[in-house]
């Protein structure tokens, strides 16, 4: 007999109030239709288009998230620092300085299954304290025997860096899911060693925009070279992400499917 399956629903970068609204409106229905054992949400841009606050994080948890991952804007809002220390279910990149607030990985449980959620930042066009590749090895060492499944949110700019991380961790983790670029890629696959992979899970928020920001503001920046205050857009709202199914006994992925759903409201 086949061992039971574990399903993980991952939601790509939530951007601004439109992204928060679509998650709050659609996640309960997704929990019913997809019946995931775990829901992980990247909340990196959930507050004002950059960073997260305690209030917004609590709203995402209330909507049905089991864990929240972040990225390069993790420390944008100072009021979240103490929350990152206090709340174990929200993680920022583990290869940030050790003295920085928060933690880089967490373990959440559901029906006796333990899912480790790891957040790592890339270093190509982004700043981090330590190599993401060395960090991934170190974190897996720390998590040994503490989790049945491991999901890595690799928050990185360069596609090559993300693909390389997938290959490094193939057969060692359940999933490597890229975030940060806000453009969902069409390369979702289970790698040869049994790790689910996608270069970018996409963006949950306003797609009538330039990666979530009002297009006219981005255009002004590109056309003039002058500093422009970015504001989240509002239109074309949809939720994007991926559903991973894995073997409960081995933690190996059996399938990954990207999804994209338009907000009906």
77: annotated active-site residue: no
Q: What is the dihedral of CA 50, 177, 60, 203, to 10 degrees?
A: 50
Q: Residue 100's closest CA among 76, 118, 116?
A: 76
Structure tokens at 87: 């709340």
The answer to whether the CB of 44 falls within 8 A of the CB of 70 is: yes
The answer to whether the CB of 135 falls within 8 A of the CB of 142 is: no
The answer to whether the CB of 34 falls within 8 A of the CB of 61 is: no
Residues 6+ apart with CB under 8 A from 14: 20, 23, 41, 42, 43, 44, 45, 46, 60, 204, 205
DSSP 8-state secondary structure symbol assigned to residue 78:
G
Catalytic residue of the set 73, 105, 180, 182 = 73
Reduced to 3 states (helix: H, G, I; strand: E, B; else coil), residue 143 is helix
Residues designated as active site: 73
């Amino acid at each position: 007999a086949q061992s039971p399956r574990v399903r993980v629903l991952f939601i790509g970068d939530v951007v601004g109030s439109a992204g928060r609204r679509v998650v709050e409106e659609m996640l309960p229905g997704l929990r019913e239709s997809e019946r995931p054992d775990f829901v992980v949400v990247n909340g990196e841009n959930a507050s004002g288009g950059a960073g997260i606050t305690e209030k917004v994080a609590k709203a995402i948890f209330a909507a049905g998230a089991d864990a929240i991952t972040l990225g390069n804007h993790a420390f944008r809002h100072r009021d979240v620092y103490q929350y990152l220390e206090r709340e174990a279910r929200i993680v920022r990149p583990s290869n940030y300085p050790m003295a920085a607030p928060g933690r880089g990985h967490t373990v959440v449980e559901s029906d006796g299954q333990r899912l480790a959620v790891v957040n790592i930042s890339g270093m190509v066009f982004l700043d981090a304290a330590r190599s993401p590749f060395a960090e991934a090895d170190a974190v897996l060492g720390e998590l040994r025997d503490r989790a049945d499944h491991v999901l890595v949110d690799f928050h990185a700019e360069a596609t090559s860096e993300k693909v390389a991380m997938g290959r490094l961790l193939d057969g060692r983790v359940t999933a490597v899911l890229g975030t940060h670029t806000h453009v969902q890629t069409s390369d979702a696959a289970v790698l040869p060693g049994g790790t689910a992979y996608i270069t970018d899970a996409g963006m949950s928020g306003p797609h009538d925009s330039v990666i979530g920001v009002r297009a006219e503001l981005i255009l002004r920046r590109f056309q003039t070279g002058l500093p422009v205050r970015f504001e989240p857009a509002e239109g074309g709202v949809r939720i994007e992400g991926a559903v991973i199914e894995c073997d409960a006994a081995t933690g190996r992925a059996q399938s990954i499917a990207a999804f994209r759903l338009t907000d009906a409201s």
